[in-house]
Amino acid sequence: MRSWSAQNVPSLPGSSVPLRLYDTAARQVRLTDPGPTARMYVCGITPYDATHLGHANTYLAFDLVSRVWLDGGHQVHYTQNATDVDDPLLERAEQTGQGWRALAEREIELFRTDMEALRILPPRDYVGVTEVVDQVAALVSRLAAKGVTYTVEDDVYFSVADAPKFGEVSGFSREEMLPLFGERGGDPERPGKRDPLDWLLWRAERPGEPSWPSPLGPGRPGWHVECTAIALDHLGGGFDVAGGGTDLIFPHHECGASEGHAATGEWPFAKFYTHAGMVALDGEKMSKSKGNLVFVSKLRAGHDPMAIRLILLAHHYRTDWAYTADQLQAAEARLETWRSAVALGAGPDAEGLLAEVRERMADDLDAPGALAAVDAWAARALRDGGSDPAAPALVRDLADALLGVAL
């Protein structure tokens, strides 16, 4: 389906710095080593509600990954899905008396608008699951042919006993996995399963639910396997980064990794599993069930989207943090200061600043460190002036290219 519009990313003078990134599976920061085209898959939204700050925080993190790679001269092949048919979407549609397709389309369109306003670079492939049901069914058939699946009443499950690498992405023990599996869409207690952690690949048709014909019988895709199928179709196995929020580490990325391994025989399925922290409000993680969401579209009404972007950049992507309204005021003040500084006819030399921002961003996306460096340059420019007529334009370009902030 349609992605959203890309802004032009200015190219910067001098030498780039290769990206070092935290890999959840390795439990450490490692050097990324993409080919001429870096390949990244980031799990998309389930479009039953508007984009909130937690979503924006996740997509911003991977936008920064793209920007560091682009600065390094790589092309970026970025793929994202939208889970446009799944239980939460169907439940919301049922509660509100609207069609699930109309609900999904409306929320996906709002998501595109929010992402574009925040200057998040768009995926090359933005794929709705309902567009690729055949491909997902084909992957499930491929897994069945490998002997790693079984059925419970016509529903197809992946057998965790046939997943030798299961646990390597999250590093979780079985005791840690079990409660999370139940909380995050799994069905550990279903009778007839061989292991509580076996996960659903194909959900057979139920009365009143959408379904598609397939060689597996009529039904619809399970959650984890949709991303595996889309990643394999667009990026192939062994791609550079699989991304999402920390709530996707288990079971979503763990299960997807084992699916990819079983289908291709290759390990790892993704070279990096990278996760953004959770955003809280009033001390609790933002979530639909708690009703404590701060919607991007509401913040955008009356506030510059670049200030919203600066709120997110002020927190390291891997930290969990809590949103408070004073952060918006601080971001607006910072934006105004930066804009005043680059509006001067000349400024202090900015080549050192460029090197520092590159180094900070390449160091596991240290955006707060990069902001501090720009703050220092802007304070000097406004206090002392400067004699370099090229400096303001260079700062404008580096803020745009590496931080995505339009000044």
Name the phi and psi angles at 248, rounded to 5.
-100, -5
For the bound state, the minimum distance from the C-beta of residue 127 to Zn ion, rounded and expressed in Å, comes to 11
* Alpha-carbon span 319 to 277, nearest angstrom: 5
167 versus 221: smaller Cβ distance to Zn ion: 221
242 versus 313: smaller Cβ distance to Zn ion: 242
> What's the order of all strands across the beta sheet hosting 284-285?
284-285, 279-281, 321-323
43 versus 204: smaller Cβ distance to Zn ion: 43
Residue 108 binds to Zn ion (criterion: CB under 5 A): no
Q: What tokens appear for 62 in the block?
A: 């991977």
Task: Name the one residue in this structure whose structure tokens are 């990244």.
Answer: 40
> What residue ranges in 205-257 does DSSP mark as E strands?
219-221, 239-245
> What's the order of all strands across the beta sheet hosting 199-204?
149-152, 155-158, 199-204, 219-221
For the bound state, the minimum distance from the C-beta of residue 86 to Zn ion, rounded and expressed in Å, comes to 11
Distance spanning both ends of the chain, measured CA to CA = 31
- On whether the CB atoms of residues 364 and 389 are closer than 8 A, the answer is no
Total of chain residues touching Zn ion, rule CB under 5 A: 2
Residue 43 binds to Zn ion (criterion: CB under 5 A): yes
Stretch that binds Zn ion, among 40-48, 146-154, 262-270, 353-361 (CB under 5 A): 40-48
For the bound state, the minimum distance from the C-beta of residue 227 to Zn ion, rounded and expressed in Å, comes to 3
Stretch that binds Zn ion, among 43-51, 156-164, 212-220, 288-296 (CB under 5 A): 43-51
Q: To 10 degrees, what angle do helices 351-362 and 53-71 make?
A: 120
Q: What is the dihedral of CA 170, 263, 203, 222, to 10 degrees?
A: 40
Specify the DSSP element, H or E, that contains 114. Answer: helix 100-117
For the bound state, the minimum distance from the C-beta of residue 322 to Zn ion, rounded and expressed in Å, comes to 26
* Alpha-carbon span 270 to 235, nearest angstrom: 10
- Contact code string over 320-349 relative to Zn ion, x by CB under 5 A: ------------------------------
For the bound state, the minimum distance from the C-beta of residue 252 to Zn ion, rounded and expressed in Å, comes to 5
43 versus 137: smaller Cβ distance to Zn ion: 43
Is the bond preceding 221 in cis, omega lying within 30 degrees of 0?
A: no
- Binding to Zn ion, residues 208-247 (CB under 5 A): 227
Give the ranges where 185-247 is alpha helix by DSSP (H).
Answer: 223-234
Stretch that binds Zn ion, among 42-50, 130-138, 293-301, 316-324 (CB under 5 A): 42-50
198 versus 247: smaller Cβ distance to Zn ion: 247
For the bound state, the minimum distance from the C-beta of residue 137 to Zn ion, rounded and expressed in Å, comes to 17
61 versus 281: smaller Cβ distance to Zn ion: 61
251 versus 277: smaller Cβ distance to Zn ion: 251
Stretch that binds Zn ion, among 35-43, 106-114, 150-158, 209-217 (CB under 5 A): 35-43
Is the bond preceding 268 in cis, omega lying within 30 degrees of 0?
A: yes
The amino acid at residue 398 is: L
43 versus 307: smaller Cβ distance to Zn ion: 43
45 versus 307: smaller Cβ distance to Zn ion: 45
For the bound state, the minimum distance from the C-beta of residue 157 to Zn ion, rounded and expressed in Å, comes to 18
What's the DSSP call for residue 209? S
* Alpha-carbon span 395 to 281, nearest angstrom: 33
For the bound state, the minimum distance from the C-beta of residue 82 to Zn ion, rounded and expressed in Å, comes to 10
Residue 117 binds to Zn ion (criterion: CB under 5 A): no
Q: What tokens appear for 147 in the block?
A: 């002997």
Residues in the chain: 407
Stretch that binds Zn ion, among 41-49, 149-157, 158-166, 353-361 (CB under 5 A): 41-49
For the bound state, the minimum distance from the C-beta of residue 296 to Zn ion, rounded and expressed in Å, comes to 21
Binding site for Zn ion (CB under 5 A): 43, 227
